[in-house]
Amino acid sequence: MNKDSNIYTLIYASVMVILVALILAYTSETLRPQQAKNEAIDKMRQILTSINVESTNANAEELYDKLIVDTYLINSQGNKVDGNAFAVELTEELRKPIEERNYPVLVADIEGSLKYVLSLRGAGLWGPLWGFISLDDDKKTIYGASFGHAGETPGLGAEIEKPFFAQAFIGKRIFNQEGTFTSVAIVKPGRTVQGKDYVDGISGGTITGQGVDAMLFSGLEAYKPFLTKE
Amino acid sequence: MSPKNKLILFNPLSKENPVTVQMLGICSALAVTSKLEPAIVMGISVIAVVALSNVVISLLRNTIPGRIRIIVQLVVVAALVTVVNEVLKAFAYDVSKQLSVFIGLIITNCIVMGRLEAFALGNKPLPAFLDGVGNGLGYALILIVVGFFRELLGSGTLFGFQVIPDKLYEIGYENNGLMILPPMALIVVACIIWIQRSKDKELQEKN
Amino acid sequence: MQEYLSTFIGSIFVENMIFAYFLGMCSYLAVSKNVKTAMGLGIAVAFVLTVTLPVNYLLENHVLKAGALSWLGDQFDSVNLSFLSFIIFIAVIASVVQIIEMILEKFMPALYNSLGIFLPLIAVNCAIMGGSLFMQQKDFANVGIATTYALGSGIGWLLAIIGIAAIREKLQYSDIPKPLKGLGMAFILTALMGFGFMSFSGIKI
């Protein structure tokens, strides 16, 4: 058989493509449930971190089911709407016009008092940032936080993932004395800012810090109608 | 194992190291070495891909039509890398998150294509397999050495556990933040090359 | 407009393919011994990157992504072909390179002769595959931004290879420790240039 004939080449290519596609489709189908589970557990652990609960891959699901007592979506007026708050992709929502966006709210029960977990998205130096902020039952004071990033500089911007950064947010207030929304500012270590609560940024990770600052402001502002509602 | 096969397996660890001597596969070598763990996972992934694709191409070597040779190789490699990627996502999710796009970049890792072209196309499956494992190991070795030094000096940890004792920090030792930055990977590799080539004068370049 | 400009500048300087991610290092080290050939390879890489990335962007968003096939009808909403993305990306890149090779050979033989040897190399250049993978990760808003990103990354790669080639030409007159000659020195130079480029990372437009 002539290896260089057109027909041979064509048949060879088609058989190969079909075979490869079948193998890949099979692998991906077999492994998909496991992958989806990993992603869900990862998200649960971030949410648990934001309510100051430590978890492992093994017990995350159990803790999540125990502590998160209610989940719902809110629209841009702060009214509850139906939907799956855990599965909602905030990135997708933020592409829609403001009136059509839905934001997830997860309600956690920590020893009898309710905490509200809000979801945030933003951009850092190299790529997307995300985070979960939990508020006390007054809906004004931060109870806990967790942050994640896709690819900030290791050792600098990437430090926002570390517990020490997230824990600095505990107890900060996102509304000032007069009740106006101020968010929490990220400042260069050693600096201060007037009129609102602030947290030290990471030295050397200024742009990432600005990204977190902007993410907090715009992200929490979106929840403002919900937070100020009685 | 015959002496010839032994040579095929072990030469790439030193004299024919793909990274420091053959100048292959440097791209993805560096971005994943700021910590030891991703470096090891990356090394294992590359060993798997090089060895398996070498075997597949060696088995097919007498049937591949000349005109689409490169495409056939790329498809085989891409398929294997996709499988590795899916497996990592399912069983080593945390590491796969850290490696992100660099798993995909194994496809264009020159080691893979280089070994397919230079070895698998002209040899039987067993030597091709050994050649793949050898070259993968050579690559992994460099990655692990670089990852070891960068994590140790940069963060004072190995596999995420602190190894530099607190006492040392008390008397003024500090982690070298520079080591974590990407360009330091190149400097560390350059040092490895320096050491290797001062020992083995044959490898030195003339101009 | 501002988004385009910041993507463009960002991809050339801040996220330079060579100095920030070290992508395409193999051909970068092998073909940077003199400026003229380096320029040829650089232009070829920039060109292929700018052609393939938008194509892959469209494929990713209209065929491969989860739910991307919904334009075919509601029943395709749940189809997720993302496991095919590596194969499709590399196939697009390899075929574009092949087509460019054929077109150049037929219509611009002079350019073909000067670029010819690099073209097959480009299909396996990490910078090009890397461009497509970063596109997938960054999730650009539209095809225009993706193209701008591709062009910027290509120009960044071109700048990097010309820069190192120019330095390496001069290097022949310097007294380098023997074991570091060639590859070793090229690594150190790239690292130093990388540190230089890190100073761009504060730029925001």
Residue ranges making up the domain that contains A196: 69-227
Closest residue to C83, CB basis, from A28, A125, A126: A28
Q: How far apart are CA B58 and CA B125, in angstroms?
A: 5
Q: Is pLDDT at A194 greater than 70 in this prediction?
A: yes
Q: Specify the pLDDT at position B182.
A: 82
> Which residue of B lies nearest to C94 if distances are taken between CA atoms?
B71
Q: Is pLDDT at C59 greater than 70 in this prediction?
A: yes
CB contact under 8 A, B197 and C133: no
> Within an 8 Å CB–CB cutoff, is residue A35 touching chain C?
no
Measured CA distances, B5 to A48, B52, B141 (Å): 53, 17, 20
Q: Is pLDDT at A187 greater than 90 in this prediction?
A: no
Q: Specify the pLDDT at position A103.
A: 86
Closest residue to C84, CB basis, from A24, A91, A206: A24
> Which residue of A lies nearest to B77 if distances are taken between CA atoms?
A20
Q: Specify the pLDDT at position C205.
A: 60
Delimit the domains of chain B by residue range.
17-206
Considering only CB atoms, which chain A residues are within 8 Å of B85?
none
Q: Give per-residue pLDDT as tens, C26-45.
A: 788 877 777 888 888 888 88
Assigned domain for A163 exists:
yes
Q: Is pLDDT at A36 greater than 80 in this prediction?
A: yes
Q: Specify the pLDDT at position B93.
A: 84
Q: Where are the alpha helices (DSSP H) in chain C?
A: 2-9, 25-30, 35-59, 85-107, 109-115, 119-122, 126-138, 143-171, 183-198
Contacts by residues B9-13 (CB-CB < 8 Å, ≥ 24 positions apart): B9/B130, B9/B131, B9/B133, B9/B134, B10/B134, B11/B134, B12/B131, B12/B134, B12/B135, B12/B137, B12/B138, B13/B134, B13/B137, B13/B138, B13/B141
CB contact under 8 A, C204 and A207: yes
Q: Give per-residue pLDDT as tens, A68-125.
A: 888 888 888 878 887 777 877 777 777 778 778 888 888 888 888 888 888 888 887 7
Q: How confident is the model at residue A230 (pLDDT cuts 50, 70, 90)?
A: low
Average pLDDT over chain A reads: 84
Average pLDDT over chain B reads: 84
Q: Specify the pLDDT at position C149.
A: 93
Assigned domain for A38 exists:
no
Count, residues in chain B: 207
Q: Specify the pLDDT at position A1.
A: 59
Assigned domain for A13 exists:
no
Q: Is pLDDT at A155 greater than 70 in this prediction?
A: no
Of residues C3 and C59, more confidence is placed in C59
The contacts of residue B19 (CB under 8 Å, 6+ apart) are: B25, B26, B29, B138, B139, B142, B189
Q: Specify the pLDDT at position A64.
A: 86
Q: Give per-residue pLDDT as tens, A15-34.
A: 888 898 899 889 888 888 88
Q: Is pLDDT at B92 greater than 80 in this prediction?
A: yes
> How far off is chain B from C125, nearest CA to CA, in Å?
6
Assigned domain for A27 exists:
no
Q: Is pLDDT at B207 greater than 60 in this prediction?
A: no
Q: Give per-residue pLDDT as tens, C78-129.
A: 777 888 888 889 888 888 888 888 887 888 787 777 665 667 777 778 888 8
- Total tally of structural domains belonging to chain A: 1
- The first and second tokens of residue C59, run together, are 């494929």
Q: Is pLDDT at B5 greater than 90 in this prediction?
A: no
CB distance A150 to C15 below 8 Å? no
Find the range with the poorest average confidence among A148-162, A197-211, C167-181: A148-162
**Portion 121-140 of C in contact with B at CB < 8 A:** 123-130, 133-134, 136-137
Measured CA distances, C143 to A128, C53, C89, C94, C149 (Å): 19, 9, 16, 21, 10
Q: Specify the pLDDT at position B206.
A: 64
Q: Is pLDDT at B60 greater than 60 in this prediction?
A: yes
Q: How confident is the model at residue C23 (pLDDT cuts 50, 70, 90)?
A: confident
Closest residue to B74, CB basis, from C94, C133, C178: C94
Q: Are β-strands A128-135 and A113-123 bridged in parallel, bridged antiparallel, or unpaired?
A: antiparallel
Q: Are β-strands A102-110 and A113-123 bridged in parallel, bridged antiparallel, or unpaired?
A: antiparallel
Q: Is pLDDT at A156 greater than 80 in this prediction?
A: no
Q: Specify the pLDDT at position C153.
A: 94
The contacts of residue C63 (CB under 8 Å, 6+ apart) are: C69, C81, C88
CB contact under 8 A, C84 and A207: no
Q: What angle do CA A113, A118, A119 make, to 5 degrees?
A: 150
Assigned domain for A14 exists:
no
Closest residue to B65, CB basis, from A9, A28, A42: A9
CB distance B135 to B12 below 8 Å? yes
**Portion 25-54 of B in contact with C at CB < 8 A:** 25-28, 30-31
Q: Is pLDDT at A192 greater than 70 in this prediction?
A: yes
